[in-house]
Structure 1
Amino acid sequence: MYLLCKTFIAFLCLFFSIPSVAGAPQEITAFGSNPGQLRMWIYIPDGLRDPAPLVVVLHGCAQTAAPFAEASGWIQYAEQQGVALLLPEQQAANNPGLCFNWFEPDDTQRDTGEALSIRQMIDRVQADYAIDRKIYGVGLSAGGAMMAALLASYPDLFAGGAIIAGIPYGCAKDLKSGLRCMKTGRDLKPKQWAQLVQRAHRKQASAVRCKSLVSIWQGDADPIVNPNNAQELLEQWTAVAGIDAHPDKQEIQQGYQRQVYQDAQGENWVETYTLSGVGHGAPIALPDDAGKSCGHPTDFVLPVGICAPDAIGRFFGLSRTP
């Protein structure tokens, strides 16, 4: 009887160690060595697909993980589409402004600092749930710049990433140069930008076996991140994909312009959204005539008439419904 009781208790411990988080994000505290000293949150909807896509959602400065995911519409998208969300969170001890340290090489290269912490978080989610091997991500501002770093450092892991009001990978090497990148941008040739990406994973031969879909979003009235950065991001990621920076498709709607960049076979690799008259923030849509909405406005989450999660999900092929 003692052995049976002990076995049952062990089973309960194992069972309850796998988080069940439908309804609210939950913090996970054990996920590896965590060299970047980040916090880990996850959101798992009731209708999780099997296998489920995983989207890594990276907040901007002065934000925290769960409120940003909710306000920007990603929790709603996860519920509708059955995808899992990983929500890394910065701590004030690392950065007083709660910005991911996208400008620090020790935090953005493969298997170092914050980049490795996020990789370890992904490993934990994959261990606990039936997750598709293709991982996707999205980030705003400092989170967007960190998303570019993850795409550069882990091209074998990330199948796609969305960079909203972000900075090209390798633009900065410290805080001073990071501020300069934000204020004025940095003008390099596409080949030079691509070389910075290639150096990020040069020690890992298997990392170069695949390239990622990249979605670039930028408000043309952004007072915090110079809109020139969107053009440099475009040049960086089209060069990485081995395609030119001339759009193959264009869509103009009230308030924004979308351009798509394809390879010779007509396959999409990069898209850009230029948001007219829009400042610094993640784009959401307020309720339309049919009552549909996307997130809710708050600091750096802007109601501009387009739901970024829906658009990004379609580009990545994650959406199971229109």
Structure 2
Amino acid sequence: MGRHREGLGRDARLRRQNRIRQWGRQQGGWSTMRRPACRIVCARMKSLLRRLYERVVPFLRRRAPLSRPPEAVVPRVPERWTQEQAIHEGRRIDYRLYVPPVPSGAQSPRSLVLMLHGCQQDPLDFATGTGMNELARAHNVVLVYPEQKHAANSHGCWNWFKPNHQQRDRGEPAMLAGLTRAVMRAHDVDPARVYVAGLSAGGSMAAILAECHADLFAAAGVHSGLPRGAATDAIAALAVMRHGMKPLAGRVEGHAMIVFQGDADEVVHPDNGVAVVESARGLDLMGGPPARCVTGASAQGRRYTRTCHPATAMGGPVEHWELHGIGHAWSGGDARGSYTDPAGISASAEMLRFFLENPRRARA
């Protein structure tokens, strides 16, 4: 009896399914029934997604920064700050090299500045104290920081006071000029835009290089230094540093130079700054256009007197910055470096400005 009822129920379900199928065939089949509904749903979804895109995407573009800078400002070659070595006549030279990044599409050659540290300093300390790398990055300038070996001078000073190191083709001037030329060849440097700068003993060597290698260095920056020939041995060097000196006679041709000297310097007498300026001017001391003198102060209140001697037929322009209240220290330097006075006017910025304004002049 139970099996008979199950059979009747199964038969009823089959008859009901057959009636549904028959009705569907009469209406054109299931596929024709679904198609209009599917079109309606798809059209509504597309409309909804389009409205969502039009509202959300512009909002996200306004709010979210680009994942990277535009291609036009992506450096083609990244900047470098490396420890390097060179050999000059059998002597190894250790130096730090800063090469700024090369922007995509850049074509113009670079400038170069040879940076000479002072006594008891090294290239890393000098780079930190002057902050010159950051300025060089903005102006596409290669920086070379050679290191004086303690075997050559027990205090790490450049030997500016020894006659052997005051000549063009001998000693440290020849070595430093050779290093400069090697870096120029390797890094596409404009030969008309090569400069030298230094502090104290480094500034004194910069003055020597400016005079002995005027064909190489377009201008020099001397901070708290002395002129070439100021001394011929260590004892004479200490005396002239302490008491100052009179300007040296006999200079014929001048050269472009910017000079910084603190009037509270107890290591290098302020009179030496005047001697450097007058040595750089050469025979321009005999005449020429009048100098322009201005006074001012740094943002921190350190005052200065700036005297500008214009270029003449005998040589390039010369600037003399007398730094009031500053001792034996790089003006406007970073306190993380040695021998710096952060409150002063930025000697680094003014030197680089002067250099870039004064490429080497073509000789008649």
**TM-score bracket for this pair, using the shorter chain length:** 0.7 to 0.9
Change (3 A) 1:185 1:136: same
Task: Provide the C-alpha distance between the structure 2 equivalents of 1:234 and 1:182, rounded to a whole number of angstroms.
Answer: 16
Give the structure 2 partner of residue 97 of structure 1: 155
Indicate which of 246, 256, 263 corresponds to 1:213.
256
- Give the C-alpha shift of residue 75 in structure 1: 0.9
Higher helix residue share: 2
Choose the corresponding residue for 2:115, options 57, 62, 68.
57
Q: Does structure 2 retain, via aligned residues, the 8 Å contact 1:139–1:163?
A: yes
Aligned residue for 2:352? 313
Cα shift readout 1:51-76 (whole Å, capped 9, x = no counterpart): 10000111000000122112211111
Hey, what does 2:340 align to over in structure 1? 301
> Structure 1 CA distance, aligned partners of 2:147 and 2:312?
39
Structure 2 Cα separation of the partners of residues 22 and 157 of structure 1: 25
Give the equivalent residue in structure 2 for 1:124: 182
| Match among 62, 71, 83 for residue 27 of structure 1 | 83
For residues 34 and 276 of structure 1, the distance between their equivalents in structure 2, rounded to whole angstroms, comes to: 44
1:186 to 239, 245, 254: 245
- Pick which of 161-170 and 242-251 moved more: 242-251
Partner of residue 331, structure 2: 283
For the pair 1:222 / 2:265, whether they are aligned, the reply is: yes
Instruction: Give the partner amino acid of 2:84.
Output: I
Task: From 207, 210, 213, give the equivalent of 1:151.
Answer: 210
Alignment-mate amino acid for residue 125 of structure 2: P
Task: Give the equivalent residue in structure 1 for 2:36.
Answer: none
Aligned 8 A contact 2:125 2:337 in 1: no
Please report the TM-score for the alignment, with normalisation by the length of structure 2: 0.69
Q: How many residues align?
A: 272
Q: Output the CA distance in 1 between the equivalents of 2:160 and 2:190.
A: 27
Aligned to 1:46: 101
Name the CA distance, whole Å, in 2 between partners of 1:243 and 1:256. Answer: 26
Maintained 8 Å contact 1:251/1:257: yes
CA drift of 1:263 comes to 4.1
Question: Deviation of residue 250 (structure 1)?
Answer: 1.6
1 CA distance for matches of 2:347 and 2:102?
22
Letter paired with 1:148: A
Are the counterparts in 2 of residues 71 and 296 from structure 1 also a CA contact under 8 Å?
Answer: yes
Poorly superposed stretches of 4+, deviation over 6 Å: none
Cα drift, residue 77 of structure 1: 1.0
**Partner AA of 1:32 in structure 2:** H
1:138-168, Cα deviation, whole Å (9 max, x unpaired): 1000000000110111011110001000011
Q: CA deviation at 1:282?
A: 0.8
- Displacement of 1:81 in angstroms is 1.2
- Secondary structure at 1:106 match in 2: helix
Question: Which residues in structure 2 correspond to 1:198-209 (within 5 Å)?
Answer: none
Alpha-carbon distance, 1:239 to partner: 1.8
Paired residue secondary structure (1:144) = helix
- The 1-side partners of 2:88 and 2:328 are apart by 34
Q: Does 1:110 align with 2:165?
A: no
- Contact kept, 8 Å, 1:243 with 1:262, in 2: the verdict is no
Q: Which residue of 2 aligns with 1:251?
A: 294
Q: 1:191-241: per-residue Cα shift (whole Å, max 9, x none)?
A: 33x26xxxxxxxxxxxx7xx5310010000001000010111122111255
What SS does the aligned partner of 2:88 have? coil
Q: How many angstroms does 1:41 deviate by?
A: 2.3
The answer (yes or no) to whether the contact 2:165–2:171 under 8 Å persists in 1 is yes
For 2:262 and 2:287, how far apart are their aligned partners in 1? 23
Deviation of 1:186 after TM superposition, in Å, equals: 2.0
- Other structure's SS at 1:30 match: strand
SS at match of 1:151: helix
What is the identity percentage for the equivalent residue pairs of Structure 1 and Structure 2? Answer: 30
Where relative contact order (Cα < 8 A, 6+ residues apart) is larger, the structure is 1
For residues 157-191 of structure 1, give each alpha carbon's deviation from its aligned partner in whole angstroms, at most 9, with x where no partner exists. 11000100001110111111111111112224x53
| SS of 1:29 mapped into structure 2 | strand
State the secondary structure of the residue aligned to 1:139. Answer: strand
Distance 2:98 2:200 in 1: 22
Range 140-149 or range 231-240, more displaced = 231-240
- Closer, same or farther in 2 for the Cα pair 1:305/1:176, shift >3 Å? closer
Q: Cα–Cα, structure 1 residues 247 and 309, in superposed 2: closer, same or farther, change >3 Å?
A: farther
Preserved CA contact (<8 Å) 2:160 2:205: yes
Change (3 A) 1:23 1:163: same
TM-score in terms of structure 1 length:
0.77
